[in-house]
């Protein structure tokens, strides 16, 4: 494998020409997106520079507590994003369920992946642990967001049909089964679709990154296959926990629909 081409500052600067071209187009077309575009470019650059230095620091120190701390920050950020995206539609109980499902679903998948699949030693090696956990947590976040959206919407719009089922002697579980199934399905479909297109429609970011940094494509695909399965596991486990616990928050202990929290 060839050595990686190190980008000089000038080369990196040359890439910013794309932003300038877009700025000109936006200006001519009067799209009023200049500020947003500039902010996005600046934020992307500054955030990545900071992350770069932070990762260098973490890799150098390589301490289990630091790795755990990073994972917890990622989890907190992911949970915050899910709850923010869900908006006003979710009550306290549902927020609690999101926290429980995210933490248990992703942590179980990450630990299984690190310990059993990769067999990492030491287990906390940040060079592996952090990016892998990031991918598993990030994808679970996207999946659960879709699940939250679908479940909360359906439980509201199909309230009458749930109520009718209860009147006919259905348990809350039976009365909401098809909605729970649909929410689970909607949440895992994007992951399954991306598996279908993988390698043909697009090369995944991690694999591209590894190839660019000089790793053999064969090693890169091994990692990619493993990580994709890890993502599938993490998304499904997290979403499954969420929908299975989440629908219950719409019922009280008398098997009645809660009208308002």
Partner 1 sequence: MFTLKNVRYKHIVKVDNLSIESEKITCILGKSGAGKTTLLKLLNKMITPDEGTIFFHDKPIDTIDSVALRRQVVMLAQTPSLYPHTVEDNLQIGRLFSDKAPVDVDHLKRMLQIVELNKALSDEVDTLSGGEKQRLALGRMLLMKPDVYLLDEPSASLDEQTANLIIKQVVEYTKKHQKTLIMITHQDTIAKRYADTIINMVDGQLVQGGGVRE
- CB-nearer residue toward partner 1: 6 or 254: 254
Contact stretch for partner 1 (CB under 8 A) within 57-65, 82-90, 165-173, 238-246: 165-173
Should residue 166 be labelled a site residue for partner 1 when binding is judged by CB under 8 A? yes
User: Which of 11, 183, 19, 222 lies closest to 101, judged by CA?
Assistant: 183
Other CB atoms within 10 Å distance of the CB of residue 242: 28
Contact stretch for partner 1 (CB under 8 A) within 39-47, 140-148, 160-168, 239-247: 160-168
Residues 235-254 within binding reach of partner 1 (CB under 8 A) = 254
Q: Which residues contact 248 (CB under 8 A, 6 or more apart)?
A: 172
Phi, psi for 171 (deg, rounded to 5): -75, 160
**Do 235 and 135 contact (CB within 8 A), yes or no?**
no
Q: What is the dihedral of CA 259, 100, 139, 124, to 10 degrees?
A: 170
Of 34, 163, 181, 261, the one binding partner 1 by CB under 8 A? 163
Per-residue contact string for residues 38-67; x = within reach of partner 1 by CB under 8 A: ------------------------------
Should residue 260 be labelled a site residue for partner 1 when binding is judged by CB under 8 A? no
Residues 170-209 within binding reach of partner 1 (CB under 8 A) = 170-171, 174-175, 178
**Do 74 and 210 contact (CB within 8 A), yes or no?**
no
Residues that bind partner 1 (CB under 8 A): 160-161, 163-171, 174-175, 178, 254-257
């Amino acid at each position: 494998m060839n050595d990686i081409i190190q980008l000089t500052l000038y080369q990196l600067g040359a890439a910013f020409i794309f932003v300038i071209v877009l700025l000109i187009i936006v200006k001519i077309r009067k799209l009023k997106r200049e500020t947003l575009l500039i902010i996005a470019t600046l934020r992307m650059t500054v955030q990545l520079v900071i992350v770069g230095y932070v990762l260098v620091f973490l890799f150098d120190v390589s301490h289990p507590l630091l790795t755990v701390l990073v994972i917890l920050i990622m989890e907190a950020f992911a949970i915050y994003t899910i709850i923010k995206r869900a908006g006003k539609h979710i009550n306290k109980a549902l927020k609690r369920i999101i926290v429980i499902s995210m933490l248990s679903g992703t942590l179980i998948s990450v630990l299984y992946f690190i310990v059993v699949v990769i067999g990492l030693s030491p287990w906390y090696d940040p060079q592996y642990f952090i990016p892998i956990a990031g991918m598993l947590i990030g994808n679970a976040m996207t999946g659960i967001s879709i699940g939250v959206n679908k479940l909360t919407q359906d439980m509201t719009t199909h309230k009458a049909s749930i109520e009718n089922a209860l009147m006919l002697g259905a348990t809350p579980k039976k009365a909401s089964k098809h909605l729970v199934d649909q929410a689970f399905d909607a949440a895992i479909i994007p992951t399954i679709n991306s598996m279908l297109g993988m390698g043909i429609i697009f090369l995944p970011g991690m694999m591209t990154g590894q190839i660019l940094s000089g790793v053999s494509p064969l090693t890169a695909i091994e990692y990619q296959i493993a990580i994709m399965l890890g993502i599938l596991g993490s998304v499904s486990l997290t979403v499954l926990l969420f929908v299975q616990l989440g629908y219950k928050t719409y019922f009280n202990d008398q098997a009645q629909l809660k009208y308002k929290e």
